């Protein structure tokens, strides 16, 4: 995977460049969306990673934007055997639906997905997370594990709030800053942290789409695969300490169902029982057989076989997927609640969490 000037996370000059080129490019992309002829070369360069004549990009983006993008290595020269220069994008930039709105999102191209440090764009999990967040007056917002930055950028656009994005992967923080700038949200702050370890402030809203995929036998990526065997289901204990009074944390996770074993929700509930000044909701959205779960995440027959065998050896028959919500309600009765809401309708989950918060204030 290429090391690029535009993605140097700890270089203040690179950070300034991300804000500047992101803002200029975002404005140009936005203007081009109404002109199919202008969008074609941009789609080839940034969505597909294909080279196009530099003259076409200058016509669409302007001389200054192209020069700046080349200088920061957002655009890279390609030798195609012709006299005139050709350029291709070094990172993927696409218009993605995030929370029901189109946002420009910068990420690594898909051919880097197997690289442990690769940063992918938003997917179904991001949509599920955003759909679970109740409406509220959130003045301070934190996303733990921001990845490409689509979720925190969307939240920044919805709320007049101070927004902070953290990630253990420095490359992800650079992408978050670039995505925020592309969408005219350069005020999003970034912070290097392994989950909550380096975070010492308090927030009204904490959200997280952690690495929650369980049991993969090989090829772990830090943005996708859980290393602790629980899908980081107990993160709520750490997030509770980050909440202001009345604050809410919402995150995704998975849990294992063993053959003849106890209810995993009840087991998790026991672990959350000692959180002070907070109530916890464990909300299960689906339970699937391990084969279906594995096939969702892998198309490799060998990996599928090893993955399924690994679950079988440990007596795991099903995987539950769901959401954990933590609400800080100082002075109120603390409780750990469990709910199973397997309708498949994302928006209904928001209502369930909103109503639960309303009963624990």
In angstroms, the Cα distances linking 254 to 157, 181, 287 are 29, 32, 9
Q: Are 136 and 248 in contact (CB under 8 A)?
A: yes
Rg (CA), the chain: 22
> What sign does the dihedral 53-57-62-67 (CA atoms) show?
negative
Per-residue pLDDT of the chain (361 residues), as tens digits, is 777 888 887 788 888 989 999 999 999 999 888 888 889 999 999 999 999 999 999 999 999 999 999 999 999 999 877 778 999 999 999 999 998 899 999 999 988 877 888 899 988 899 999 999 999 899 999 999 999 999 999 999 988 889 999 999 999 999 999 999 999 998 899 999 998 899 999 999 999 998 888 888 876 666 677 766 666 777 889 999 999 999 999 999 989 998 887 888 888 888 888 888 899 999 999 899 999 999 998 888 999 999 999 999 999 999 999 999 999 988 777 788 988 876 556 558 888 999 888 876 6
Distance of alpha carbon 319 from alpha carbon 109, whole angstroms:
30
CA dist 124 and 272 (Å) reads 27
At residue 116, the pLDDT reads 80
Q: Buried (b) or exposed (e) across 48-67, using 16+ Cβ within 10 A?
A: ebebbebebbeebbeeebbe
CA nearest to 168, candidates 190, 140, 142: 190
Q: What are phi and psi of 241, to 5 degrees?
A: -70, -10
The structural domains of the chain, ordered by start, are 5-90 (no CATH), 95-358 (3.40.50.150)
pLDDT in the model for residue 202? 96
- Look at residue 3 in the predicted model and tell me its pLDDT: 79
The pLDDT value given to residue 318: 94
Q: What is the pLDDT of residue 251?
A: 95
């Amino acid at each position: 995977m290429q090391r690029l000037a535009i993605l140097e996370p700890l270089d203040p000059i690179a950070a300034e460049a991300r804000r500047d080129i992101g803002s200029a490019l975002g404005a140009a992309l936005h203007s081009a969306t109404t002109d199919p002829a202008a969008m074609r070369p941009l789609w080839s360069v940034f969505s597909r990673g294909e080279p196009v004549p530099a003259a076409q990009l200058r016509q669409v983006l302007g001389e200054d934007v192209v020069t700046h993008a080349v200088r920061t290595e957002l655009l890279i020269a390609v030798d195609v055997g012709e006299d005139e220069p050709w350029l291709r994008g070094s990172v993927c930039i696409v218009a993605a639906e995030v929370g029901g709105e189109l946002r420009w999102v910068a990420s690594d191209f898909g051919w880097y997905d197997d690289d442990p440090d690769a940063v992918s764009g938003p997917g179904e999990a991001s949509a599920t997370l955003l759909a679970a967040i109740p409406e509220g007056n959130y003045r301070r917002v934190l996303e733990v594990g921001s990845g490409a930055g689509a979720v925190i950028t969307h939240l920044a656009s919805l709320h007049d709030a101070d927004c902070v994005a953290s990630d253990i992967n420095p490359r992800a923080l650079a992408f978050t800053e670039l995505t925020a700038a592309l969408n005219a949200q350069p005020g999003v702050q970034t912070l290097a942290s392994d989950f909550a370890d380096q975070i010492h402030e308090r927030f009204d809203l904490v959200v997280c789409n952690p690495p929650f995929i369980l049991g993969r036998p090989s090829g772990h990526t830090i943005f996708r695969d859980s290393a602790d065997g629980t899908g980081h289901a107990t993160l709520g204990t750490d997030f509770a300490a980050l909440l202001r009074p009345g604050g809410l944390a919402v995150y995704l996770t998975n849990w294992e169902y063993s053959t003849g074993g106890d209810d995993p929700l009840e087991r998790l509930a026991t672990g959350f029982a000692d959180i002070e000044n907070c109530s916890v909701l464990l909300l299960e959205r689906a339970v699937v057989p391990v084969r279906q779960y594995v096939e969702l995440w892998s198309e490799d027959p060998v990996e599928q076989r090893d993955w399924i065998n690994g679950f079988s050896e440990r007596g795991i028959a099903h995987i539950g997927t769901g959401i954990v919500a933590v609400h800080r309600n100082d002075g109120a009765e603390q409780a750990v609640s469990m709910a199973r809401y397997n309708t498949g309708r994302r928006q209904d989950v928001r209502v369930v969490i909103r109503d639960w918060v309303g009963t624990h204030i």
